[in-house]
Amino acid sequence: MLEVLISMVVLTIGLVGLLSVFAVSLSTTQSAKQDQIAKQLASEAMESVFTARDTANVIFDQIQNVGTGTGIFSQGFQAIYNAGNDGIIGTGDDALAGMQTMKLPGPDGIMGTVDDISISLANYRRQIAITPVLDATNTPVSNLRQVTVTVQYSIPSGVRKNFVLTGFISQYR
């Protein structure tokens, strides 16, 4: 009888451990959608910076944050707006373009039909930080900058998360 009781306690402890694994996997699955959206928003901002340089919409001296020389990119965390008239994400004219939303195909699985689902991105905030790259003597390299895009968001459990994407941009295409 004692052996059966001990084996039941060991089995119960094992099952409780297994249930906690299921709970963690369920919460990870629930936040995967938000994680993917954050990655996409960060990539979109980084691509916008490179596109601005590559299409010669701005000169290299403008690829900085506002308040740093002739920079055009807003400082601090901003709501996720559509690109403004300049077509560049993260600049001062974006607020006039309105909040960005994400469209997903509806039940029919086809984009562009009447049943498409629009997702608000009000839960997300983005920051584009552009800093000079320093050489070995702590002197800024004139033709190279570091671009760090941070997207903040909350997952369904209420935990605040950050996704950070870092890259470098030079004046050369």
Q: What is the pTM of this model?
A: 0.80
pLDDT for position 29: 75
Tell me, what DSSP letter sits at residue 65?
B
Q: How far are the Cα atoms of 30, 103, 116, 117, 118 from residue 106, in angstroms, in the given order?
A: 19, 9, 4, 6, 9
Contact 168, 147 (CB under 8 A): yes
What are the boundaries of each domain within the chain? Answer: 2-170
* pLDDT tens track, the chain, 173 positions: 888 889 999 999 988 888 888 877 777 777 888 899 999 999 999 999 999 889 878 889 899 998 877 889 999 999 999 999 988 999 989 999 999 998 889 899 899 899 999 989 999 999 999 999 999 999 988 899 999 999 999 987 788 999 999 999 998 87
Q: Which of 115, 113, 126, 101 minimizes the C-alpha distance to 39?
A: 126
Would you call 83 helix, strand, or coil by DSSP? Answer: coil
Task: Supply angle C-alpha 141, 142, 143, rounded to 5.
Answer: 100
